[in-house]
Structure 1
Amino acid sequence: MADSQSASEVEALIPQFTLDRVLNQDQAGRRIVLSGSIASKPAILLAERAAFPSDHDHLSRFSTSLSHIKNLGANDIYHWYLACTSTSPSSDLAAQPPDLKLNLIYPCTDQHVKKYSQQGIRLVTETPQIYASHVRPYMQAKRDEGRLNWVFNILEGRTEQEDVFYREHGPEGFLILPDLNWDRKTLSSLHLLGLVERRDLWSVRDLRKKDVTWLKHVRGKLLDATVKLYPQLERDQLKLYVHYQPTYYHFHVHVVHVALETGATQATGKALGLENIIGQLEMMAEGEKGEEAGMADVSLTYQLGEASELWTEVFLPLKEGRDARIQP
């Protein structure tokens, strides 16, 4: 670009851009690369959403500045929406497509605040002994607080049934529905959840060698149902994983497009590939436990936020040689 061009001349180039085709788009929809031309000369336009303002004045007006707010679903304290940042509510929605995906947790708890706050991260190793003595009781306490009401609402048919696109009832049953963080239209950012009907599986820790056949069945059904609903996809374009620690203690499997950017939720220290879990269970020596041998018998290393209760009440005291506060 010639130095002699004025700022206004440079700015005037953008409206002259004529689109030819989309070259690329990131999975979260925040960045797009367009191929086209300006004055009959080839050009590439890269567009990326700017960062949100962080000053209080702007953010205090944020919720009231939104338009075309459309509810995508609600379950217990969780609500999710699409919305526009346009300041003209009367404008045509077709001409102003939603550019924000909103999740609302209301009323939220102190644990939600801790989870979503900026904080330091620690890597911990949970031995079978720590799991049995401290983490399992923690899981029990959270389940007893009613943290799974929204999951049971879905499983028992009270909410979100219009979103369930596959269901298999019975002792080995499960269902599939969209994850609340997916916009439900961008296949390259596909994110589905497989919720099992079994109440005895709280997390990956409850999987045993005897569950391998069932896990393979679930894996196959998750893949089959997804490609049937979205025929543009093939099975080898899908990735299945579980979280440890999970956000909630009812066993579920995440189904995502392999191109989905591997952010913190898919990173090492958070996500465990379902195929790898199956392989690990298959290779376990039966020994004294036989088919009851399982993931509760191995050490798992994962990351925790410094504000999480598991860090402050269990792993930090253990690190400092003190008694962990969560006891069976």
Structure 2
Amino acid sequence: MASEDESALLPHKLPSLRGLKVDRVLNDGKESGVVALLGTFAGCSTQAVVKLSRPPIPVGDPDALSRAISLSERAPWSGMEYGYYHGALDPLFAPGLSVDVLYPGCLYDESEEAREKLLKKHISRNTAQAPVAFRETVEAYENAHVPYIRAIPEGAVGWVYKILALEKETERLLFNDPTEDAGFLLNTDPKWTTHPDHNTTPKAAWKGHASTRDLYCLGLCHRRDVKSLRDLRREHLPMLRAMAETGRRVIRDTYGLEDHSVRVFVHYPPQFYHFHVHYTNVAVDIGVQTERAHLLDDVIDNIERDSEHYAKCAITGRMGENDELWRRYREWRANSDAGST
């Protein structure tokens, strides 16, 4: 259990990063644009991952952008064939820095071992590392991936259940059908950082807003027995069709974005093991690598032809070289190779 001092420092009560002792730089941001630090807050015994990033600059209104930037000569050298200026952006026009603090130590209902596993996962996910691709056969899934899923603490998706119960992130809510078998909830994703303020901007002003070029929404199914693409069968088609069709309709009605401008896809392996669907503007390149993204319409087609498609097929996945799942894959493969000799 956490100490009294530690319980007073829940992430939502941290007023600043004051007192943070940086233990290690996980990612310097040169490639990803996100600086990730591993550190400890004063009075807390559990480490936290702190992510620093600059949100995209909204450029939908060029005139507003030109008014918000002031220029000064950076290198007025004699004889230069061009002018070299430095621009400063008005902080009222766009936020300068986004900070995320991932602190598993606040999950007091979980065991110390469970909190350590969550922290280890976040460290691995945010540490600069080479990506790897792995062809997951059914045997690899059953012998390496399933044990990995079973070892994930139940509290790891507790935040999902709170969203589905309308206890959290209600300001992001776009649609909710609580029907158990086919229902789903649609929210704007926090990765859509240029979205108009959910609390102060009238919803009517969202339609046609310049930020729709960055559109990123998240659909969460209400069923709790579907963890990933591998679990999908014919019985889930009503839910999948609703997530594809109704999700697009809600986005079209809310933001004015036509279906041909919206990409709907599923990640495998997923970032968290409760079935969910991503909706982005086709112009958004986040998370759409061929080794990760499976278009929802293609998923539906595959299951319509064969209910057991995702139970039988091999799937290529992408992850980091330090991920726990990759370690399990390599260990299983090494044992399999040793057993065959």
If the TM-score is normalised by the length of the shorter chain, which range does it land in? 0.5 to 0.7
Query: How far did 1:299 drift?
Result: 1.1
Q: Which amino acid aligns with 1:146?
A: G
Residue 332 of structure 2 is aligned to residue 308 of structure 1: no
Supply the distance in 2 between the matched residues of 1:148 and 1:59 (Cα, whole angstroms).
Answer: 22
- Asked if 2 retains the 8 angstrom alpha-carbon contact of 1:188 and 1:257, the reply is yes
| TM-score of the aligned structures, taking structure 1 as reference length | 0.64
Secondary structure of the equivalent of 1:136? helix
Secondary structure of the equivalent of 1:148? helix
Alignment of 1:178-197 (within 5 A): 178-183=188-193, 184-185=195-196, 186-197=211-222
Q: What is residue 183 of structure 2 aligned with on the other side?
A: 173
Given candidates 250, 257, 273, the residue that maps to 2:295 is: 273
Given candidates 87, 95, 99, the residue that maps to 2:96 is: 99
Supply the distance in 2 between the matched residues of 1:237 and 1:197 (Cα, whole angstroms).
Answer: 26
- Asked if 2 retains the 8 angstrom alpha-carbon contact of 1:53 and 1:59, the reply is no
Q: What is residue 320 of structure 1 aligned with on the other side?
A: 334
- Asked if 1 retains the 8 angstrom alpha-carbon contact of 2:144 and 2:332, the reply is no
- Asked if 2 retains the 8 angstrom alpha-carbon contact of 1:206 and 1:294, the reply is no
Supply the distance in 2 between the matched residues of 1:52 and 1:223 (Cα, whole angstroms).
Answer: 34
Alignment of 1:40-189 (within 5 A): 95-107=92-104, 109-142=119-152, 144-171=153-180, 172-183=182-193, 184-185=195-196, 186-189=211-214
**Structure 2 gaps, min length 5:** 1-27, 38-48, 57-88, 105-117, 197-210
Given candidates 236, 256, 264, the residue that maps to 1:211 is: 236
What is the aligned length? Answer: 238
Query: How far did 1:213 drift?
Result: 3.4
Q: Which amino acid aligns with 2:296?
A: L
Q: Which amino acid aligns with 2:320?
A: G
Larger radius of gyration: 1
**Structure 1 gaps, min length 5:** 1-50, 61-76, 85-91, 285-290
Q: What is residue 241 of structure 1 aligned with on the other side?
A: 265
- Asked if 2 retains the 8 angstrom alpha-carbon contact of 1:121 and 1:303, the reply is yes
Q: Which amino acid aligns with 2:260?
A: D
- Asked if 1 retains the 8 angstrom alpha-carbon contact of 2:264 and 2:280, the reply is yes
Q: Which amino acid aligns with 2:333?
A: K
Q: Which moved more, 1:151-160 or 1:193-202?
A: 151-160
Secondary structure of the equivalent of 1:250? coil
Residue 249 of structure 2 is aligned to residue 224 of structure 1: yes
Query: How far did 1:53 drift?
Result: 8.4
Change (3 A) 1:99 1:279: same
| Cα RMSD, aligned residues only | 3.4
Between the aligned residues of both structures, percent identity stands at 28
| TM-score of the aligned structures, taking structure 2 as reference length | 0.62
- Asked if 1 retains the 8 angstrom alpha-carbon contact of 2:132 and 2:319, the reply is yes
Q: What is residue 29 of structure 1 aligned with on the other side?
A: none
Q: Which amino acid aligns with 1:98?
A: P
Residue 281 of structure 2 is aligned to residue 257 of structure 1: yes
Secondary structure of the equivalent of 1:269? coil
Q: Which amino acid aligns with 1:188?
A: R
